[in-house]
Chain A
C-alpha cells in the first residue's frame, strides 16, 4: 500500500498536468478562431517560424537525402536491388524524414525561442500589463504563434521534401552513376499522393505541438531568469518527445490496414 502511494500521487499529478495543458490548448485554439485577429503579429510569427527556419530545414533534409541514397545503395546491393534507391529516398523523405527532422529542428529553434520570449514577458509582468491594457494575452501572444506554427511547418516540409529528393538525386547521379532520367522516373513511379499528404499532416501536427509547448511552458514560467531557463528546456524536450509519439500514431492512422 505505502509503496503504491507515491505512484498514485505521481499519476494524479500527471493527469493534472495533462488537464491544464488541454485547457490551455483549447483556449489558445478558440482564440485563434475568434476575432479580433492580429494579422500583423501572425505575419511576424510566420516569417520567424517559416522563413528563418528554411536554412536549418534545408541543410538537414539535403544531407539526409544524400545519406539515404548512399546507405540504401550499399545495403540493397547485397541482394541486387540497387534500382530501388530512388523510390526508397522519396518515400522515406516524404513520409518520415522531412516531417520528423523538420519538426525536431524547429522544436529546438522555435520552441525554445517562444518559451524564452513568453517566459520573460511573464516574469517581467508584461503579460499582466497586457491585461491592464484590455488585451487578452491568449489572443495577443498565444493564438498567433499556434496559427503560424501549424501553417508554416507544412510549407517547410514540402520544401524539405523537394530538397531531400534532390540530395538523393545528386548522390545517385553523380556518385552512384545512375542515369538521370531513369532516377527521376523511379522517383515519381511509386510515389502516391498519400505519401506526401501524410507527411504534411504530420508537419501541421508537429508545428502545433512545437508552438503549443513553447507557449505553455513560457506562459507558466515563474521565478525569474532561472524559471525562464527551465521553461525553455521543458518546451524543447516535451515538444521533441510528443513529436516522436504522435508520429507513430499518425503513421498508424494513415498506413495500417
Chain B
C-alpha cells in the first residue's frame, strides 16, 4: 500500500462464523470504500444479518479480519470497539425500536447516551431528524406500538442517522412494506446518506432497493461472496446465481429451503 492510498472504510478478509456445527459465514472477503454504497443480496438465512453483526461487534467472528478505517475490529479491546461503534449506525430488520420509550426518546437515544447530550437539548434535534424522514411533531410523543410499520421504519431510520454516523448499515429496510412505502424509504435512505456523506452497507431482497441504493452489489451464497460488481452489471452478468436472483426464478443453481 502506498502512503497516499487510503484504506477502505470497511475491509473484510476471510471472516468465518459458525453456530455449533452450522457454518454460516465461510470466508467472506469484501471491501467498502469511503462514501460508497454496497448492497449485499442473497437468499433468506444465508447469514447476511450475521455478517453485519460481526462488523458491528454484536457477534464475534470465529476467525478472519474486519478493519474499519484500517483499525482491526476482530478481537479488539473494549475501548477500541466502543470507539468504532460510535462511527456506526444501524437500521435493524425489525426496526428494534425501544417500545418502553416514546418516539422522540428513541431518536434521541444515541445523542443522549453516546454523545452525552442532555435531554432538553436532544429533543429539538430528535424532532428535526423526524421531520427529515417525513414525520410530524405530534408523532414524537407516541410510543412505537402506536405506529404503523412504515412509520416505525421511518423512526428507526431517524434513530440510525441521528448521531451522524460515518458508516450506516441497513438490514432489509423495505421488507414488510407496501411497494409505495418501500419506495419512500429507499428515497429517504438515499437522501439522508447523501446529506451525511456516509458509507453504507445494505442488505436486501428487494431488487427495487438494489437499483435505487447501490453503487456496487455483492452476492452472498453458501457462506461466501460469490459475485460482486457495479450495479449496472447485475442485468448483464452471466453468473447463473445472480441471474436467478435478479429474475426471481425457482429454476437455477440456488436451492431454497435446504433442498438439494
- A residues whose Cβ falls under 8 Å from a Cβ of B: 117, 120-121, 124-126, 128-129, 131-135
Contacts and interface: CB of A to CB of B under 8 A. Distances in A.
B185 interface: no
A131 B57 CA distance: 9
Contacts of A126: 96-99
Contacts of B1: none
Given A132-B58, A134-B85, A125 B110 contact: no
Contacts of B159: 133
A2 to B, nearest CB: 24
A69 B249 CA distance: 78
A133 B97 CA distance: 12
Contacts of B113: 133-135
Nearest 7 A/B pairs, CB to CB? A134-B114, A125-B96, A129-B96, A132-B90, A133-B110, A135-B113, A125-B92
B68 interface: no
Interface in B195-213: none
Contacts of B98: 121, 126, 129
Contact of A128 (B82, B96, B100, B163): B96
Interface residues of B, number: 24
B86 interface: yes
A37 to B, nearest CB: 13
A17 B73 CA distance: 29
A124 B94 contact: yes
A120 B145 CA distance: 14
B94 A132 contact: no
B53 interface: yes
A104 to B, nearest CB: 27
B99 A128 contact: no
B56 interface: yes
Listed residue (A117, A131, A133) with the most chain B CB atoms within 10 angstroms of its CB: A133
B93 interface: yes
B89 interface: yes
Contacts of A125: 92-94, 96
28 contacts: A120-B99, A124-B94, A125-B92, A125-B94, A125-B96, A126-B96, A126-B97, A126-B99, A128-B58, A128-B90, A128-B96, A129-B90, A129-B92, A129-B97, A131-B58, A131-B85, A132-B56, A132-B58, A132-B85, A132-B88, A132-B89, A133-B109, A133-B110, A133-B114, A133-B159, A134-B82, A135-B113, A135-B114
Interface in B207-241: none
A128 B54 CA distance: 12
B208 to A, nearest CB: 24
A131 B85 CA distance: 8
Contacts of A131: 56-58, 85
A128 B109 contact: no
A120 B98 CA distance: 11
A249 B175 CA distance: 54
A126 to B, nearest CB: 5
Contacts of B86: 134
Nearest to A131: B58
A111 B93 CA distance: 29
Contacts of B99: 120, 126
Nearest to A128: B58
Contacts of B53: 128
A131 B59 CA distance: 11
Interface in B43-98: 53, 56-58, 82, 85-86, 88-90, 92-94, 96-98
Contacts of B97: 126, 129
Contacts of B58: 128, 131-132
Given A134-B110, A135-B109, A128 B92 contact: yes
B52 to A, nearest CB: 10
Contacts of A134: 82, 85-86, 110, 113-114
